[in-house]
Structure 1
Amino acid sequence: MLSIDHFQSLWDVRVKIACVGGGPAGLYFSILMKRQDPGHEITVHERNPAGSTYGFGVTYWGSLLGKLDAGDPESARAVQESSVRWSDGVAHIGDRTTRHRGDEGFGIGRGRLLDILAERARSLGVRVEFEDEIADGAALPDADLVVACDGVRSAVRERHAAHFGTEVALGRNTYIWLGTTKVFDAFTFAFVETPHGWIWCYAYGFSGDRSTCVVECSPETWTGLGLDRADEAAGLALLEELFVKLLDGHRLIGRATAGGSAQWLNFRTLTNRTWSHGNVVLLGDAAHTTHYSIGAGTTLALEDAIALVGALSTSSGSGRAGLAPALAAYEKERKSALLSVQSAARHSAQWYENLPRYIDLPPAQMFALLGQRHSPLLPYVPPQLYYRIDRAAGRLESLRRLKRWLGPKVARTLHSR
């Protein structure tokens, strides 16, 4: 094996790379690296068995497809063909409903996405090893570069947590990631009032017969409904009753542990002061997380992979002088790109944590502010006033666009006279 002290301009020689974690980020990184140079020896170490994954479906937006196509057209085509799409947003607030046209979004089963990327990686010569856990205290793989893409609770990162400067902030609300046989044709929000407060879900299709349904509520509602004490079967039965109109007779699907306990969580917002240590670099959720309510986690992980490959491919120098600047450039690029996304995610999470502030607005206004939940100003402006200001600003922008469009036409008309 080449030691890190003998890295040449990293891509002038064959290198050995280990990806710890077989999620989308690690698999896509391995694909891009093999496409750059088939001589690289790359192994993906995944602790879980093949075909097992958490979650149900993931979301992404059209801009990601262009990036995937630029990196590897074959896997991009397979991802798009296996995705469902929508362009509307629907909000059910008690007995009230509103629908709005929005940007085109996509959903794909997480398991299907992993299968596509794993198959493509193998076809390029990547070794994908399942049930291969790099446990705490065990030696890291013998490699020139170790990519830690083993999630928010990364065992690789935790070995040097003080160096990475890992910080975790727990969200106030509790949530659970579920599936359902109800197929939604739009990205759907449903808010249900209970004697113990509001409970709501985000739902979207990811295949021809399945949808994801993420349920969230305040801790007071969670304990008041008894969800903190219910096993998964009892909890699902209660949630099906609460969301009966939304589900239209369909069932919810859970993912209980062996003991039957429901997988309620508080979201972990994770940041790291630095993303590399020697020849170890963090990728995806091991490096950062963003609240699920903005639907960007998978996209950001894949963009990390693209950026890391780009930084490595343009590195120069030898030894640590070659690798260290590449990892630093990757970190700088991604931290800069994440600033606005992380801000949006924080404010989105806070919007839901302060739902009573908005829930009694007329449905159209409530839905409009739901779409504006990323704004740092919204928590400090009375909701109805913010709505009126936003509408006025929208009309002004429409007038500006009309003026810009009319300007050249009027000028040409006057000139022709």
Structure 2
Amino acid sequence: MSKKIAVVGGGPGGFFFSILMKKRRPDWDITVFERNGAKDAFGFGVVFSDATLKGIDEADTILSDGLREHGARWDTIDVVLKGEKHSFSGNGMSAIHRKTLLPMLMEKAESHGVVTQFNQFIPTPEQLKEIGDFDVIVAADGMNSEFRRFVGEDKLDHKVVQATAKFIWFGTDHMYDGLTFLHRANEHGNWAVHAYPISEDVSTFIVEADEPTWRAAGLDEFDVTSPPGPSDMKSKAYIEELFADELQGGQLLINNSRWGNFRGRTTKHWHSGNIVFLGDAVHTAHFSVGSGTKMAMEDAIALADALDAHPDDLEAAFTEYESVAQPQVAKVQRQARPSLRWWEHFGEYYKAFEPWQFTFHFFSRSITLGKIAKRDAAFAKKSQDSWAAQYGTAVLETPITVAGQSVPGRLLGWSSDGRLLHGSTGTPLEINHAHVVDISVDQKTAVPADADVIIVTGGDEEDRISESEMQALYNDIPVVIEIANASEDLAETLVLSGRADAVVSN
């Protein structure tokens, strides 16, 4: 039996779902409603890893076709700061301008018989009923979803966590070779840029700053609550001057360019009645991992598959859709958390680390040295060699002084009575005062002046690593992190990146 489907939101996820659904069920009636005009496209580029493209290609090759004809591809990521550039290869990625991708998706959808209606703001099912009766409503209406509000965010168990850092999205006519991270400090604070090519003549140029820096620069005057459209021209002029050397005569391009805070969204239930959500309406991951459009398109695949498998049982279809798509999203969000944390503190890392260690710290925020070496052995070795040049020995073999005792290495153990042991000799360390930070009990006590060492333990390993990093940044005594059954690879990663001075493991 034929179905009538309304897709509210003409973004990549909504259009891709429409294409896939029409391919599977050509007799179904599908209409896409988009509040903006056919030529409107806010933002600049969207990025996909090579691994992401494989899964999407199996459903339809339109994305790869567009990237091949109109996009940009690179393998190397560059980090630039303090007059140095460090590069990490083995990271196949592609990007395309949003204003190029959306018309391609629209044209293919229409070629399959999908009806598109632009300048149609549909905030509730009641307004859809004025147009017609729809069996399924696919709410792909973005982060500020009106349908999510209509259904009820409490009912969907929707949660939002707002990041503290500020960001603004520009383009530029200066062409970067690939994904490039630029870092600068001035009298107002620290600034960072994510730049990458998205066509033959445009690069994306996203700027981040912490809130004190942003306010000190006087960039808090623009009314971000105004309707979409106008861009913050004062910020454009400021950033062009600040990054003039990196832009090399290029200009910033605007498109609804205004400062905002990233909002992490999670949702337990993705459907209610005949309304089903996909994309940013129910989940987000920090843009530094470039996964918003990827997740929306993967949602589209899972939803089309589920509706095709259960055309006469929406509850079964939506339940299957969630069972497939939610774990995929959760995985990306787990991977994005360390990246978001990194960007919340990049100014502190800029001050604390030499360029080589800053770069390794950045790339090791979600993968270990061993995995980095598989992608780019030369970069991994360069990081290890930089440590050896500074300390005179390999990372885990570097002595460390704890409570006045020289410990011949950075991998420690526990004695049966709970004392730290030399990792190589098994000799207990004589410590007068170890300050233990147990994050499982949310300990916030200050480090005593007579503490010999800080030991970070308890709680989730990811949170423990984050706490260890903060303790190492702000204290002059050794910071030791407890990692159960720590591999040498993880231990070396933590020490080489500056997240801990040593690792203790059982």
> What TM-score do the two structures reach when normalised by structure 1?
0.84
Aligned to 2:192, which of 196, 200, 212? 200
The reply on whether 1:88 has 2:65 as its aligned counterpart is no
Gap regions ≥5 residues in structure 1: 1-12, 257-261, 398-417
The reply on whether 1:29 has 2:17 as its aligned counterpart is yes
The reply on whether 1:225 has 2:244 as its aligned counterpart is no
- Give 1:308's aligned amino acid: L
Instruction: Kindly indicate whether the alpha-carbon contact (under 8 Å) linking 2:35 and 2:122 is maintained by their aligned counterparts in 1.
Output: yes
State the secondary structure of the residue aligned to 1:334: helix
Cα distance in 1 between the residues matched to 2:246 and 2:51: 30
Q: 1:396 to 1:190 in 2, by over 3 A?
A: closer
Q: 1:157 to 1:356 in 2, by over 3 A?
A: same
Aligned to 1:292, which of 287, 293, 301? 287
**Equivalent residue number for residue 419 of structure 2:** none
Cα distance in 2 between the residues matched to 1:98 and 1:72: 36
Q: What's the CA shift string for 1:314-354, capped at 9, x where partnerless?
A: 227x5xxx110210111122221222211222221111112
Instruction: Kindly indicate whether the alpha-carbon contact (under 8 Å) linking 1:343 and 1:374 is maintained by their aligned counterparts in 2.
Output: no
Aligned to 1:303, which of 298, 303, 315? 298
Aligned to 1:111, which of 87, 99, 105? 99
Give the alignment of 1:242-281 within 5 angstroms: 242-256=242-256, 263-281=258-276
**Equivalent residue number for residue 466 of structure 2:** 379
The reply on whether 1:351 has 2:342 as its aligned counterpart is yes
Runs of 4+ more than 3 Å apart: 73-76, 135-138, 380-386, 389-392, 394-397
Cα distance in 2 between the residues matched to 1:128 and 1:79: 23
State the secondary structure of the residue aligned to 2:128: coil
Give the alignment of 1:42-57 within 5 angstroms: 42-57=30-45
Q: Larger Cα Rg: Structure 1 or Structure 2? A: 2
Q: 1:182 to 1:336 in 2, by over 3 A?
A: same
Instruction: Kindly indicate whether the alpha-carbon contact (under 8 Å) linking 1:69 and 1:77 is maintained by their aligned counterparts in 2.
Output: no
State the secondary structure of the residue aligned to 1:190: strand
State the secondary structure of the residue aligned to 1:22: coil
Instruction: Kindly indicate whether the alpha-carbon contact (under 8 Å) linking 2:74 and 2:177 is maintained by their aligned counterparts in 1.
Output: yes
State the secondary structure of the residue aligned to 1:171: strand
CA deviation after TM superposition for structure 1 residue 379, in Å: 1.5
Cα distance in 2 between the residues matched to 1:79 and 1:122: 20
Instruction: Kindly indicate whether the alpha-carbon contact (under 8 Å) linking 2:191 and 2:347 is maintained by their aligned counterparts in 1.
Output: no
Q: 1:343 to 1:73 in 2, by over 3 A?
A: closer
- Give 2:294's aligned amino acid: T
CA deviation after TM superposition for structure 1 residue 391, in Å: 11
The reply on whether 1:342 has 2:337 as its aligned counterpart is no
**Equivalent residue number for residue 144 of structure 1:** 135
CA RMSD of aligned residues (A): 2.5
CA deviation after TM superposition for structure 1 residue 201, in Å: 0.7
Cα distance in 2 between the residues matched to 1:391 and 1:200: 33
Aligned to 1:183, which of 175, 179, 183? 175
The reply on whether 1:159 has 2:150 as its aligned counterpart is yes
Aligned to 2:278, which of 269, 283, 290? 283
Question: Matched residue pairs, number?
Answer: 375
Q: What's the CA shift string for 1:203-229, capped at 9, x where partnerless?
A: 000000000011010000000011112
CA deviation after TM superposition for structure 1 residue 297, in Å: 0.7
Q: 1:182 to 1:39 in 2, by over 3 A?
A: same
Aligned to 1:212, which of 187, 204, 211? 204
Instruction: Kindly indicate whether the alpha-carbon contact (under 8 Å) linking 2:71 and 2:200 is maintained by their aligned counterparts in 1.
Output: no
The reply on whether 1:99 has 2:81 as its aligned counterpart is no
Q: What's the CA shift string for 1:109-158, capped at 9, x where partnerless?
A: 01111011000000000001111110358523521110000000111111
- Give 2:23's aligned amino acid: R
Q: 1:366 to 1:75 in 2, by over 3 A?
A: closer
Q: 1:195 to 1:136 in 2, by over 3 A?
A: farther
Cα distance in 2 between the residues matched to 1:151 and 1:29: 14
CA deviation after TM superposition for structure 1 residue 59, in Å: 0.5
Q: What's the CA shift string for 1:144-173, capped at 9, x where partnerless?
A: 110000000111111012321222211101
State the secondary structure of the residue aligned to 1:48: coil
Cα distance in 2 between the residues matched to 1:180 and 1:391: 44
State the secondary structure of the residue aligned to 2:127: coil
My pick for the range that moved more, 329-338 or 373-382, is: 373-382
**Equivalent residue number for residue 236 of structure 2:** 236
Cα distance in 2 between the residues matched to 1:66 and 1:216: 31
Cα distance in 2 between the residues matched to 1:203 and 1:276: 36
- Give 1:252's aligned amino acid: L
State the secondary structure of the residue aligned to 2:317: helix
Instruction: Kindly indicate whether the alpha-carbon contact (under 8 Å) linking 1:65 and 1:80 is maintained by their aligned counterparts in 2.
Output: no
My pick for the range that moved more, 307-316 or 154-163, is: 307-316
**% of aligned pairs identical?**
35
Aligned to 2:49, which of 46, 49, 61? 61
> What TM-score do the two structures reach when normalised by structure 2?
0.70
Q: 1:396 to 1:352 in 2, by over 3 A?
A: closer
Determine which structure has greater relative contact order: mean sequence separation of CA pairs < 8 Å that are 6+ residues apart, divided by chain length: 1
State the secondary structure of the residue aligned to 2:75: strand
Cα distance in 2 between the residues matched to 1:337 and 1:69: 17
State the secondary structure of the residue aligned to 1:159: helix
